[in-house]
Amino acid sequence: MEAARLLLTPIFKEKICANLSFEDLIRFRDALGLLSLKCPIPVMDLETRQKIILPGVNFTTIEAYHLIKQYGLNLALLKAAKYGRDLVIKTLIKAGANIETINRFGWTILMSASRNGHNSVVQTLIAAGSNIKAATQRGTTALMLASMNGHNSVVQTLIAAGADVNAVNQDGETALMWASEFGRDLVVQNLIAAGADVKIVSQSGQTALILAAEKGHDVVVQTLMAVGAV
């Protein structure tokens, strides 16, 4: 407890922060039984070779530190988004990570988070200015990925943020078609309510109704037919 009180002394805290390594700071924090130690953490970005300062030693910044050390700042953001690490993502964004970074599939961070159903991450990225209408070279959007995988809360968030429900990919397919093909009835209902065109025909001549019927998704078929799908 005496050591913990000493940490409140600026001079003592400054010396501790300057003289202990990252690993020693973690051990020192744990020894004191603290959730957070208010020492800045310097870490080198692998990509830019610039020093990044993370604010304090806690579970979130420790995770961010290791991700940056392993992947670099921007790829760290992609990894955190894939696994829904919202607090880590907020820390990385504050540290200057590029929210429009793309992975090897050409997906943005928003697409990755949407595909995996991490709604809080999607909300964080949208609030940070992520391009809601971004598409891959083949025209895949975040809304398509969320719709295909049945992540209804993400679909609702994307729609509310202005996602284009009738965007088509290179094959002429829409989010509604993907949701219909995979039997995501609640997503289908929300897309229709948001203005999705049930009569769009893909380049292969298929509609949302045809795709749902071919896959045997009877509930989706009924939903589509109720609004005049063909």
Instruction: Write out the residue range of the structural domain in which residue 28 sits.
Output: 1-97
Q: Is the pLDDT of residue 68 over 50?
A: yes
d(CA 57, CA 54): 8
Residue 90 belongs to some domain of the structure: yes
Residue 116 belongs to some domain of the structure: no
Mean pLDDT value of segment 142-163: 98
- pLDDT higher for 47 or 204? 204
pLDDT of residue 19: 75
Mean pLDDT value of segment 67-74: 94
pLDDT of residue 15: 66
Residue 1's pLDDT band (cuts 50, 70, 90): very low
Q: Is the pLDDT of residue 28 over 90?
A: no
**pTM, to two decimals:** 0.87
What does the pLDDT look like over 196-216, one tens digit per residue? 999 999 999 999 999 999 999
Both tokens of 37, joined, read 């130690």
Q: How many domains does the chain have?
A: 1
**In the 3-class helix/strand/coil scheme, how is 107-159 assigned residue by residue?**
CEHHHHHHHCCCHHHHHHHHHCCCCCCCECCCCCEHHHHHHHCCCHHHHHHHH
pLDDT of residue 170: 97
Mean pLDDT value of segment 23-49: 82
β-bridge pairing 51-54 and 41-44 = antiparallel
Tell me the residue type at 106. Answer: G
Q: Is the pLDDT of residue 12 over 70?
A: no
pLDDT of residue 14: 56
pLDDT of residue 34: 75
Residue 8's pLDDT band (cuts 50, 70, 90): very low
What does the pLDDT look like over 80-105, one tens digit per residue? 999 999 999 999 999 999 999 998 88
Residue 17 belongs to some domain of the structure: yes
Biggest distance spanned by C-alpha atoms of the chain: 75
Q: Is the pLDDT of residue 121 over 70?
A: yes
Residue 80 belongs to some domain of the structure: yes
Residue 92 belongs to some domain of the structure: yes
Q: Is the pLDDT of residue 217 over 70?
A: yes
Residue 224 belongs to some domain of the structure: no
Residue 134 belongs to some domain of the structure: no
Mean pLDDT value of segment 220-226: 98
- pLDDT higher for 22 or 128? 128
Residue 34 belongs to some domain of the structure: yes
Mean pLDDT value of segment 62-77: 94
Q: What percent of the chain has pLDDT over 70?
A: 93
